[in-house]
Amino acid sequence: MDGAERKSGVRARPEPQAPRSTMKDRKVKEDTVPERVTLKKEIGLMSACTIIIGNIIGSGIFISPKGVLEHSGSVGLALVVWVLGGGIAALGSLCYAELGVTIPKSGGDYSYVTEIFGGLVGFLLLWSAVLIMYPTTLAVIALTFSNYVLQPVFPNCVPPYMAIRMLSATCILFLTWVNCFSVRLATRIQDIFTVGKLMALGLIIAVGMVQIYKGNYEGLTPQIAFDFSGNSPSVGQIALAFLQASFAFSGWNFLNYVTEEVVDPRRNLPRAIYISIPLVTFVYTLTNIAYFSSMSPEELLSSNAVAVTFGEKLLGMFSTIMPISVALSTFGGINGYLFTSSRLCFSGAREGHLPSLLAMIHFKSCTPIPALLVCCTATIVIMCIGETHNLINYVSFINYLSYGVTIAGLLYYRWKKPNLYRPIKVSLLVPMSYLLFWALLLGFSLHSEPVVCGVGLVIMLTGVPVYFLGVYWKDKPKCIYDFIGKLKNLIFK
């Protein structure tokens, strides 16, 4: 008996008593080991492409043409903005391909910035993304879905405010349940609806090409397309046009949020990017050409639902096909954003930057249910307090800010770890070209819309005290940890 045993008066039990557990007990114990419950690799090349395409093609192509034309001032410049917007997204996606295979973690921008710049910068990006960026984008897509679904029901007026919000909330709740239930089911829905949205845009393009074949392309001739009617846009207005277009292209980086669930990511991640971004740019440009071949700038600017107006003008009795097609497209977009944004919450919690509750995975479905519920709740709250076009301006600025910081991190990481193995290594001209455009765009945006950009910066900087109180401060009172533990037990009881 050693000193501790003499003092306590209790003898330790002999070692042979330990292995009395039955086979059933050991089975239960093994099933409850946290390390055994992980995200599964179920995303192949096809699903990877549909995640990118499905997240990019959501509501943007159906609502952003109005904002792009309004700020650019002419049809010709609007088309240039769409083409260059796709080119900039392609440059950014090449940089993300290198980061994705060099730092093979789920979480996208957040994981890369945290690895490169440290906890505070990563947390600020995570904070703005979870608080405003992704819930806002989801809210915009859901509101667009409801507008197009209800448009045939209320053909002569704007659908009621509450009807739009209730239908949007129902859609978000249903798709949250799907994503909680099964990763495979969620990706299958994404595959199906991505094909559906490409077919919807294909219909618009086909009808537009028929119009051009008939000779209805006067508005696309250079003399008319670049006619500003004495009202040439300022550089700041052009920057805002790019912000509107960037919303339609947002989502090009979302496959990086689920890297750990991609089969052979070093091969399939870059391949999916190389296939998806050029395809989306091509489809977007042709879609806008189709719009302008059939609608005057005045008609497009006065329309609340561009695709519906397009269908009513050209499809006659079949015009109801258009709102249905757009609704299917946005439905798939909601599913894709829920799938990927929940993985951002999961990654942040795993790094200790969000409550550990959000890093929990259901032991049967292997889905991050708490993270999905947080994304769902935040989206519904934002959806009830904001209007579509104002939300787009806020989220586009924060999006571009986070993209630029991440791609600047690529250059810094090259300098910091020059000998690190990189399966993909893009030319330095790619990130430098992107950052040059990024700096010009944000500079002119700050000049022309200081309030919108200022609100975005304030939202991001409010994360500084939260970081120091919630993450950096390690020796919190015991009562805080007790409360968190009781909350976990209550939720998972």
Radius of gyration of the chain (CA): 25
Q: Is the pLDDT score of 36 beyond 70?
A: no
Q: Is the pLDDT score of 29 beyond 50?
A: no
Q: How far apart are CA 492 and CA 477, in angstroms?
A: 24
Check whether residue 440 and residue 475 sit in a common domain: no
Check whether residue 194 and residue 298 sit in a common domain: yes
Give a yes or no: residue 19 inside a domain. Answer: no
- CA atoms lying within 13 Å on the CB side of residue 285: 17
Q: Is the pLDDT score of 5 beyond 80?
A: no
The per-residue b/e assignment along 400-438, b for 16 or more CB within 10 angstroms, e otherwise, is bbbbbbbbbbbeebbeeeeeeeeebebeeebbeebbebb
Q: Is the pLDDT score of 387 beyond 70?
A: no
Amino acid at 28: V
Give a yes or no: residue 476 inside a domain. Answer: yes
Q: How far apart are CA 328 and CA 309, in angstroms?
A: 17
Check whether residue 424 and residue 492 sit in a common domain: no
What are the residues facing 43 on neighbouring strands?
262
State the average pLDDT over residues 23-33. 45
Check whether residue 152 and residue 182 sit in a common domain: yes
Which ranges constitute the DSSP H helices of 129-264? 134-150, 161-181, 183-213, 222-225, 235-249
Check whether residue 422 and residue 492 sit in a common domain: no
State the average pLDDT over residues 78-105. 88
Give a yes or no: residue 85 inside a domain. Answer: yes
State the average pLDDT over residues 263-276. 85
Q: How far apart are CA 310 and CA 210, in angstroms?
A: 13
Check whether residue 374 and residue 405 sit in a common domain: yes
Structural contact between residues 87 and 102, judged by C-beta atoms closer than 8 angstroms: no
Give a yes or no: residue 15 inside a domain. Answer: no
DSSP notation for 4-68: HHHHHT-PPPPGGGSTT--HHHHHHHHHT-GGG------B-HHHHHHHHHHHHSSSHHHHHHHHH
pLDDT of residue 104: 81
Check whether residue 443 and residue 487 sit in a common domain: no
- The alpha carbon of 114 is separated from its chain's Cα centroid by a whole number of angstroms, namely 19
Give a yes or no: residue 399 inside a domain. Answer: yes
Query: Which residues 6+ apart lie within 8 Å of 329 measured at CB?
Result: 57, 58, 59, 62, 193, 196, 197, 200, 201
pLDDT of residue 435: 93
Tell me the torsion sign for CA atoms 469, 472, 478, 484: positive
Q: How far apart are CA 162 and CA 389, in angstroms?
A: 18
Segment 271-323, tens digit of pLDDT: 888 899 889 989 899 999 988 888 888 888 887 678 778 888 887 767 777 78
Number of neighbouring beta carbons within 10 Å of residue 446: 17
pLDDT of residue 110: 86
Check whether residue 141 and residue 193 sit in a common domain: yes
- The alpha carbon of 334 is separated from its chain's Cα centroid by a whole number of angstroms, namely 9
Segment 214-233, tens digit of pLDDT: 887 777 777 777 776 767 78
Q: How far apart are CA 138 and CA 172, in angstroms?
A: 9
Structural contact between residues 356 and 170, judged by C-beta atoms closer than 8 angstroms: no
Check whether residue 389 and residue 490 sit in a common domain: no
Q: How far apart are CA 145 and CA 140, in angstroms?
A: 9
Tokens 């009795």 locate to: 317
Structural contact between residues 325 and 149, judged by C-beta atoms closer than 8 angstroms: no
What are the residues facing 127 on neighbouring strands?
none
Segment 162-218, tens digit of pLDDT: 888 999 999 999 999 988 888 788 878 877 887 777 777 888 899 888 888 888 777
Amino acid at 229: S
Give a yes or no: residue 184 inside a domain. Answer: yes
Q: Is the pLDDT score of 389 beyond 70?
A: no
Check whether residue 397 and residue 455 sit in a common domain: yes
Give a yes or no: residue 375 inside a domain. Answer: yes
Range of the domain at 62: 39-461
Check whether residue 424 and residue 477 sit in a common domain: no
Number of neighbouring beta carbons within 10 Å of residue 335: 29
Q: Percent of the chain at pLDDT above 90?
A: 9
Q: How far apart are CA 268 and CA 271, in angstroms?
A: 5
Q: How far apart are CA 241 and CA 261, in angstroms?
A: 35
Check whether residue 436 and residue 482 sit in a common domain: no
Closest of 161, 134, 156, 137 to residue 63, by C-alpha: 137
pLDDT of residue 179: 86
Which ranges constitute the DSSP H helices of 214-354? 222-225, 235-249, 265-294, 297-302, 306-314, 321-350
The CATH number of the domain where 70 resides is what?
A: 1.20.1740.10
Segment 57-70, tens digit of pLDDT: 877 787 788 888 88
Q: Give the chain's length.
A: 493
Q: Is the pLDDT score of 362 beyond 50?
A: yes
Give a yes or no: residue 25 inside a domain. Answer: no
Domain tally, the chain: 2
